[in-house]
């Protein structure tokens, strides 16, 4: 269901777009970790991952669209389903933001640092072929504040509704609804060719997990400092970018890093990232 929905969304936004930016991105890091995948001494098992991403942003008459699809490949990850190690994961997210002023009316006398207000709707979906076999759907909605900065800076307050159908249980499990506070940005550093991009999210606990254990609040951060190397390589400006990136995920999917999930439930990952825009 999730993959079919995202395909239909992608088809729709391509036809409706007034402006757009699409890129293929490659990220690589050697210190990823996963809940319940730990060394004998209790430390997190370091997982090497390559992530290929398709990223699309576009604007149309009433707002903006954002689509991000990740394909994860980890060659050394413990996995009883695939010859003892290695795993593949697909993760897709879509966000649709309706701009209040484009739909209702212009807001007079709003603060100078505010560009506008909106309503964001979205869905996440993932599937993974390890022992646990995650198969999640997350639906979300909430208000958005768009700050007036070079590039963009948006703050979202989102209500989440999440379900999962992993290999280890019968049927689909639904978590309690929960709250997320999200900051998303893409800010050029003027006259340097650098751009600071990222997402930071705090998510509240979501009741009990599918085994009856209590979930924990999550923190997720993914940030990168990308340099435009297009001109140096004979391509158009803003076409080819490369730079360092960093990802932090505490209590991944609500798993307690101080409990049975162990240190692997919190990842701190330096990465190298490259992107080609077309």
CATH number of the domain to which 92 belongs: 2.40.230.20
What integer pLDDT is reported at residue 88 of this predicted model?
A: 95
pLDDT digits (tens, 9 = 90+) for 6-26: 455 445 555 567 899 999 999
- Domain total for the chain? 1
What integer pLDDT is reported at residue 80 of this predicted model?
A: 74
What integer pLDDT is reported at residue 237 of this predicted model?
A: 84
Residues of the chain with pLDDT under 50: 3, 6, 9-10
The boundaries of the domain holding residue 189 are 2-277
What integer pLDDT is reported at residue 183 of this predicted model?
A: 98
What integer pLDDT is reported at residue 234 of this predicted model?
A: 79
Arithmetic mean of pLDDT over the chain: 92
Rounded to 5 degrees, what are φ and ψ at 2? -60, -45
**pTM for this predicted structure:** 0.91
What integer pLDDT is reported at residue 17 of this predicted model?
A: 76
């Amino acid at each position: 269901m999730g993959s079919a929905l995202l395909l239909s969304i992608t088809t729709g936004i391509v036809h409706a777009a007034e402006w757009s930016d699409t890129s293929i991105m490659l990220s690589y890091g050697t210190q990823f970790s996963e809940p319940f995948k730990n060394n004998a001494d209790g430390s997190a098992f370091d997982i090497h991952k390559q992530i290929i991403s398709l990223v699309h942003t576009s604007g149309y008459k009433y707002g903006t669209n954002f689509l991000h699809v990740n394909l994860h490949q980890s060659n050394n990850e413990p996995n009883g389903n695939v010859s003892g190690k290695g795993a593949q994961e697909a993760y897709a997210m879509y966000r649709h933001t309706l701009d209040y002023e484009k739909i209702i009316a212009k807001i007079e006398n709003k603060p100078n640092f505010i560009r506008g207000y909106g309503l964001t709707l979205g869905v996440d979906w993932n599937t993974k072929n390890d022992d646990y076999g995650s198969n999640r759907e997350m639906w979300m909605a909430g208000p958005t504040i768009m700050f007036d900065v070079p590039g963009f800076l948006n703050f979202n307050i989102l209500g989440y509704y999440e379900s999962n159908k992993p290999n280890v249980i019968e049927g689909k499990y639904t978590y309690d609804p929960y709250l997320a506070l999200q900051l998303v940005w893409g800010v050029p550093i003027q006259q340097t060719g650098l751009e600071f991009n990222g997402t930071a999210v705090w998510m509240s606990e979501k009741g009990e997990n599918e085994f009856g254990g209590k979930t924990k609040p999550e923190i997720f951060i993914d940030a990168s400092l990308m340099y435009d190397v297009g001109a140096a390589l004979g391509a158009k400006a803003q076409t080819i970018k490369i730079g360092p990136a960093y990802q932090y995920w505490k209590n991944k999917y609500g798993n307690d890093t101080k409990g049975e999930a162990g240190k692997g439930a919190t990842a701190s990952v330096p990465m190298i990232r490259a992107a080609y825009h077309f």
